Amino acid sequence: MNGTVSICTLGCRVNKFESEAIADAAERAGMKVVGWGEASDLAVFNSCALTVLAEAKTRNAMRAFARKNPNSFIAVTGCYAQTAADALAQMPNVKWIVSNAAKLKTIEIISNNPPQKHAQVFHSAPSEACGALMLSDSPLEDRMNLKIQDGCDNACSYCIIPRARGLPRSRDFGEIIADAENIVSRGVREIIITGINISKFNSPRGTLVDLVDKLAGIKNLLRLRIGSIEPPHFHLEELLDRMADESHPLCPHLHISAQSLSDKVLQAMRRKYSAEEFLSTVKFARDKIPHISVGTDIICGHPGEDESDFLETRKKLEKSGMAYAHVFTFSPRPKTLAATMKNTPPKPERKSRADSLRETAAAISEAFTKSQTGTVRTVLLENRLANGDYLAYTDNYMQVAVNINEQGLKNRLANIKLVSPINPNLTRAEFINLV
């Protein structure tokens, strides 16, 4: 198939990486990849099924594309395609539904299977081959996710991802390095190591720490980050040693999923740690690197959570010293254990708790920003706005605006001084010098 293709990516960092791999495959097949929102002959939807809302977003985007491009075809892959193929087959213009395990062959499947009257469904069992080499030479200017692992076996009560992604399996060590070298050669200067559960990464050639050190040796790679990671076991001390080493590109930033800070709720969620163990991890990191940014996720209103559990979580979050928290309202997800559990707080109560915890999250974020005011940090410059401000993230994951007269500095490292908040998510910084 020739013509144009656009790719809509919903959900996690892993999907974002896999969409780039699909785009590379499309280019190799002779297609022209155009930006999402442009008219195209084919749309590939890389879907998310984490929540009912995520599924609705996928359906709405598909309908909007079909209305705008009535003569075009749609292929759907990702977690929603894995868990609800029959429902997606009824959507307008859908011709191919590709399981997660076959996702990275989406373009090959489309090319070898002409569109039929009804959607064709393509399944493949999960295997060790959970990646695809990036082989294009087309430019990539922004920071990029690098998938190292797929699948999860934690079986948390609220989560459908093990059903959608399968058991943990790690990519080949050499393949990961080859991908990193490819995307750096195409202009990427910051890589975020990601996976469905990267604490499960396991390779005969080394651990996650060994991989970090190998990636650090790639010429022109300026920064590395660890994506969201699951407690309790992930080589914390060794990773912190590298984050504390200013000569190492690993940034002092961790996002560790908590989901609750009540032991009763954690047990109901089937999480594998206590609130104290989680908070001890945060404290250890902050004691080792005082300026480190540690963030988390919290779900409000899981079945069995009562007011005292919520208040316990809020109080512990207030005192945790974390830099930020993403707060979610529990919504029963069909095909998960939590959807069958009793004592789910009423929807208005779930929403009220989430709103309250977001206020706490805003307060801890403000406190972290204040603690960093006046300090000198390194940023990787991004796009320059019309007023001369470059947007950028500090090594410890604070978004800043820094005014520099010179143009063309995107993807350059610079030292800046943090001055004052512009808004809750953006801080004014003063330019010092290029690194």
pLDDT digits (tens), the chain, 435 positions: 679 999 999 999 999 999 999 999 999 999 999 999 999 999 999 999 998 899 999 999 999 999 999 999 999 999 999 999 999 999 999 999 999 989 999 999 999 999 999 999 998 755 555 677 787 888 887 899 999 999 999 999 999 999 889 899 999 999 999 999 999 999 999 999 999 999 999 999 999 999 999 999 999 999 999 999 998 878 999 999 999 999 999 999 999 999 999 999 999 999 999 999 999 999 999 999 999 999 999 999 999 999 999 999 999 999 999 999 999 999 999 999 999 999 999 999 999 999 999 999 999 999 999 999 999 999 999 999 999 999 999 999 999 999 999 999 999 999 999 999 999 999 999 999 999
- Count structural domains, the chain: 3
Q: 358 and 383: one domain?
A: no
pLDDT at 129: 54
Query: Which of the 8 DSSP states describes residue 381?
Result: E
Q: 331 and 416: one domain?
A: no
Last residue of a domain, one of 335, 367, 399: 367
Other Cβ atoms less than 10 A from the Cβ of 29: the count is 14
Residue 197 carries which side chain, given as an amino acid letter? N
- pTM for this one? 0.92
Is 135 inside any structural domain? Answer: no
Is 136 inside any structural domain? Answer: no
Q: How far apart are CA 127 and CA 276, in angstroms?
A: 36
Task: Check if the beta carbon of residue 170 is closer than 8 Å to that of residue 149.
Answer: yes
* DSSP E strand stretches across 354-407: 376-384, 389-394, 399-403
Q: 221 and 333: one domain?
A: yes
Q: 89 and 150: one domain?
A: no
Q: 302 and 194: one domain?
A: yes
Q: 361 and 384: one domain?
A: no
Q: For the sheet containing 253-255, what is the strand order?
A: 253-255, 293-300, 324-329
User: Residue 394 is part of a domain; what is its CATH number?
Assistant: 2.40.50.140
Is 139 inside any structural domain? Answer: no
Q: How far apart are CA 288 and CA 239, in angstroms?
A: 11
Is 54 inside any structural domain? Answer: yes
User: Residue 81 is part of a domain; what is its CATH number?
Assistant: 3.40.50.12160
pLDDT at 256: 96
Q: How far apart are CA 170 and CA 149, in angstroms?
A: 4
Is 137 inside any structural domain? Answer: no
* Per-residue pLDDT reduced to its tens digit, 382-400: 999 999 999 999 999 999 9
Is 127 inside any structural domain? Answer: no
Q: 80 and 212: one domain?
A: no
Q: 207 and 351: one domain?
A: yes
Last residue of a domain, one of 65, 88, 122: 122
Last residue of a domain, one of 89, 122, 155: 122
Q: How far apart are CA 5 and CA 73, in angstroms?
A: 10
At 153, list the tokens.
């076996």
Q: 198 and 315: one domain?
A: yes
Nearest-10 Cα torsion for 73, 77, 82, 84 = -40
Is 81 inside any structural domain? Answer: yes
Q: 176 and 113: one domain?
A: no
Is 266 inside any structural domain? Answer: yes
User: Residue 309 is part of a domain; what is its CATH number?
Assistant: 3.80.30.20
Q: 191 and 330: one domain?
A: yes
pLDDT at 127: 55
Per the structure, the complete domain to which residue 178 belongs is given by: 144-367
Q: 358 and 380: one domain?
A: no
Query: Which of the 8 DSSP states describes residue 197?
Result: S
Q: How far apart are CA 183 and CA 186, in angstroms?
A: 5
Which of 69, 181, 392, 79 is closest to 88 using CA atoms? 79
